[in-house]
Amino acid sequence: MPQQHAPVPEVELAVSLAAEAKLAEPGCPCPAAVGFHGLGQKLLFQAERRYAELDGRRLVLRPETTRGLPAQGFTAMTFFGDWPASAWAQLREDDSWDSGDTQGALYRWEKDHWRRVKATEADEQYGPWYRGDGSIGAIVHSFGGGYSAQSVILPLDPQSKAPVPRLARRADGGQRLFVLASTSLPTGHLFVLGNDSQNPRRDIPCVERFSPGAETGTLEALPLPPQPPPRLEWRSLAARSPNDAYVAGVLADPPEHMGPTVSYLAHFDGTTWSLLDVPAGLWGPEVSVAEDGTLWILNDTPDANPALSVAFSSQLLRRAPSGDWAQVRLRTPSGPVGADVIISHVFVHGSVVWFAGFTKAQRDRVLVWTTAPMDAMLTIPP
């Protein structure tokens, strides 16, 4: 039976400072107006309405990359697809970090500019559905109340005749999963995480898996430890291959961790889901997996001084392919990154890991680090 780890050893990770951005409004640990976007080999870093592209060993502001996008009133929720043949962007109507329920629009890149395709509804969030044949579709979630009871998978090419997956249904025709997250692989495999709505008296976390070209998926309940707290919260999903997928979360007594909590991590090996050892004390974990199988978990931790304007800190955990855990501290050539820095994003792009964060004292100043060597640091003005 997997165990809850005691405190894990600390290690330092050598990183380069890649960028510094000044925000027009203060950041937070999960600012939707700050983040990384992967478009195949292309990497973008977003700071509100400004976008920097990775060019060799430096980030460079490239206004032409965003030609056709609104200059005011909209920020990106996501970019997805493959640059430049099939690149898509979903924007929303304002840049407040808590504005996921505002309306926006879907755009497609065409030769040298973004073309507006359609308006998107409130609470509607697009994500990629890679079809395995080089084409791309979308999985569209309507996140109301923290989950999506109406998620739709659709082709983005209206001429496409290929089969389109459909999520499992209940006997009354409603969607069986209350969807929390999804991830799609270039191979055409799709993982969808949620709670089984067929049993409304108990939260049963499940994953529905789709193979390339399949219209129906395989719905599987995730394993749970003996006598767990009743709800799996703060779930996060990541996959490196069809045989290497992860779900991280916290088993807790609702509401919002007011009762006892148990850290949770499950792994899919291509055949079955199984529980893994995981450090105790997870609070709001976000999981990422690198090309070599290294697992990264970004964890929010409550602050000892709740009187501060930011009453939490961040913890960066790394699980090596061997299964060994470590708590990671970033170190630049000029010295270690201070303990007052809150890491808000971890993004894996190829074999390189990117981090973004800010200090408690300067929430409007975002810093970007990377495990790749960089020739220069980019300064992004507000």
What are the beta bridge partners of residue 273?
268
Give SS3 for 32.
coil
CA atoms within 13 Å, Cβ hemisphere of 292: 11
pLDDT beyond 70 at 89? yes
d(CA 290, CA 267) in angstroms, rounded, equals 14
d(CA 216, CA 219) in angstroms, rounded, equals 9
DSSP 301-314: EE-S-TTSSS-EEE
pTM over 0.85: yes
d(CA 231, CA 334) in angstroms, rounded, equals 44
d(CA 281, CA 382) in angstroms, rounded, equals 36
For CA atoms 154, 234, 371, 45, the dihedral sign is: positive
Q: What is the pLDDT of residue 308?
A: 46
pLDDT beyond 90 at 324? yes
How many helices (DSSP H) and strands (DSSP E) are in the chain? 0, 33
pLDDT beyond 50 at 66? yes
User: Domain limits of the chain?
Assistant: 9-30+120-375, 31-119
Better pLDDT: 29 or 84 = 84
Contact 50, 356 (CB under 8 A): no
pLDDT beyond 50 at 21? yes
Name the maximum alpha-carbon separation found in the chain: 61
Structure tokens at 301: 């931790």
Residue 262's pLDDT band (cuts 50, 70, 90): confident
- CA dihedral (38, 39, 44, 45) in degrees, to 10, reads -30
Residue 65's pLDDT band (cuts 50, 70, 90): confident
Provide the mean pLDDT of the chain. Answer: 86
Q: What is the pLDDT of residue 64?
A: 87
CATH T-level fold of 9-30+120-375: Methylamine Dehydrogenase; Chain H (2.130.10)
